[in-house]
Amino acid sequence: MVGTLGWAADWFDLQKAGYWGVFLVNLISSAAVVIPVPGLFAVCAGATSELGFNFGLLALAGAAGSTIGEVTGYLAGYGSQSVVQKSRYYPRIHRWVVRRGGFALFILAVLPIPLFDIGGIAAGSLGYPISRFFLWVGLGKLIKFLIIADGCRRSISWLVDLV
């Protein structure tokens, strides 16, 4: 969370930090279980044409950091009863992960919603294999970040041209 706050407060220069900075911001923001921290904004900001980042590598850095960070939710579910398990969404997402496994984790990872933490906790509590967790979550996060990076790159360029 400190990295994200530092970036938001302009203590963190994305142009100097580069892909590793995007990786780090997404790692930290995804590790913050249940607290929505905007790691997506680092990818979106990096997608501007002025910074000159490759949007595919930017998406890969964000997805890798975010996927590794999601292990905190998985471990929270694996190790103990979590506060999130008392959430009204938990029973539905838990059943969905039981029935659909990797597909459910993939869909939750693609969607830009904070409910993924509940899916990670459900996967951990079920003892879902960590290697498959990384595979499905990583693929979902990569697709999400590719869409975010490309969308931001196109819309920011369009907005700059408009102004």
Q: Concatenate the DSSP letters of all residues of the chain into one string.
A: -HHHHHHHTT-S-HHHHHHHHHHHHHHHHHHSSSS---THHHHHHHTSTTTT--HHHHHHHHHHHHHHHTHHHHHHHHHS--GGGGSSSHHHHHHHHHHHTHHHHHHHHHS-STTHHHHHHHHHHHT--HHHHHHHHHHHHHHHHHHHHHHHHHHHHHHHHH-
Residue 13: pLDDT band with limits 50, 70, 90: low
- pLDDT value at position 1? 44
On the question of pLDDT at 159 being above 60, the answer is no
- pLDDT value at position 34? 55
- pLDDT value at position 81? 61
Single pTM value for the model: 0.79
Average pLDDT over residues 78-105: 80
What's the mean pLDDT when you consider all of the chain?
80
On the question of pLDDT at 2 being above 50, the answer is no
On the question of pLDDT at 26 being above 80, the answer is yes
On the question of pLDDT at 143 being above 80, the answer is yes
- pLDDT value at position 4? 47
Average pLDDT over residues 98-106: 92
